[in-house]
Chain A
Amino acid sequence: MNDDHHVILRVVSKMLLPVIIMFAFYTQFHGDFGPGGGFQAGIIIAVGVILYALVFGVPAAMRAVPPVFTRSLAAIGVIIYAGVGYWALLQGGNYLEYQALFHEPPGEHHGQHVGILLIELGVLCGVAGAMLTIFYAFAGRVAEIRDKDW
């Protein structure tokens, strides 16, 4: 019955995890107005999953966020970013020229907002996926972090 050494750690980190993910999305979508952006948000999401892996074990984290998902996410992020550039090309502008996305005259900012939102989303996916892939590559080689290693 009493085989759980880290019950406080588990309960506290379970409470913290939603807050960490929420903070990542705050960082992502508030990047236009304050410090932060896709890169930091991606790292925070990755760190949230890593915290889960450290407390509940890597196999549990791999069931929740499979490695095949993280490596696809990294590729999808780069594709989203590069795709915005090609979208601007198709609309007749230069590569990554957000002003051309909706054929706006200078002074209108809809294209800039949408473009930056999309590339930040690409950065978020790319960074979170790549960081989790790196973590899984290292952590998948040791079975379990034993108590005496801490």
Chain B
Amino acid sequence: MTGVLEGDIGMALVNILLLAVLFVVAIAIARLRSLFAIVMLSGIYSLVSATWYVVVDAVDVAFTEAAVGAGMSTVVLLGAMLLTSRTAKPDKKFARLGPLLVVVATGVMLIYATVDLPALGDPNSPVNTGVGLQQMQINWADTGIPNVVTSVLGSYRGFDTLGETTVVFLAGLAVALLLGFGERSLAVSIRREGKSPGRGKPSTPAAKKEEDAS
């Protein structure tokens, strides 16, 4: 905990600013009812947290967070939102009390746990002294790959990465089994729109005029 006070004051300010933005965005997500705004704000949340990961020197995690959180999951959530209504149902006053208690209790426990955490980049922390240090030392002789993250992911933990790839494949398979591959439903909706002009691709000049006017 002393690392923040001893370190660069500018870095501390950047950290505080980014975390404050994250806090404000999270509060806004919790209070908003418009699903479109919530999806967009969750994209912003991912982008800001990716920036914060860069600040704490976790570049690979930041890269993944920016690509997956801000890019991919925002689009998938948008697609899911278009299938449902645009606003969430307003919930009752007392229904919020239980979740609030759970969140506050978890927050207190997490803050209590951070007291025991080693400072950021502490060379004596368990992460930097055990297997991590050993792999940093033997990586070049073992694999000849400069980026330790890649050699750990691909070589030392090759089985884990195989499992992750399989999980991603299974996720795609599961969604496709639940929702279909998208071809047939799209074909049906295009055919339906072709019969009723006004929406979709206008085929006649009259329909085109209607599209411009709207």
Contacts and interface: CB of A to CB of B under 8 A. Distances in A.
A64 interface: no
B183 A120 contact: no
18 contacts: A2-B212, A50-B75, A67-B182, A77-B169, A78-B165, A78-B169, A95-B159, A96-B162, A112-B145, A134-B176, A135-B79, A137-B175, A137-B178, A138-B80, A138-B175, A140-B183, A143-B190, A149-B36
A135 B142 CA distance: 40
Contacts of B83: 138, 141-142
Interface string A16-40: 0000000000010001111111011
B64 interface: yes
Nearest to A97: B158
Interface of A: 2-3, 27, 31-37, 39-40, 43-44, 46-47, 50, 54, 58-59, 62, 67-68, 71, 74-75, 77-78, 81-82, 85, 95-96, 98, 106-107, 109, 112-113, 115-116, 119-120, 122-123, 126-127, 129-131, 133-146, 149
Q: Is the interface of A mostly helix, strand, loop or mixed?
A: helix
Nearest to B64: A40
A44 B67 contact: yes
A32 B60 CA distance: 12
A27 B181 CA distance: 29
Contact of A98 (B79, B155, B185, B208): B155
Interface of B: 36, 59-60, 62-64, 67-68, 71-72, 75-76, 79-80, 82-83, 86, 141-147, 149-151, 153-155, 158-159, 161-162, 164-166, 168-169, 171-173, 175-176, 178-186, 189-190, 192-193, 199-200, 202, 208, 211-212
B82 A59 contact: no
Contacts of B60: 35-37
A50 B74 CA distance: 11
A71 to B, nearest CB: 7
A96 B190 contact: no
Contact of B159 (A31, A71, A75, A96): A96
Nearest to A47: B71
A81 B155 contact: no
A115 B154 contact: yes
B161 A47 contact: no
B147 A32 contact: yes
Contacts of B76: 134-135, 138
Given A143-B200, A149-B82, 6 more contacts: A37-B150, A37-B153, A44-B67, A133-B181, A138-B179, A149-B36
B144 A113 contact: yes
A112 B72 contact: no
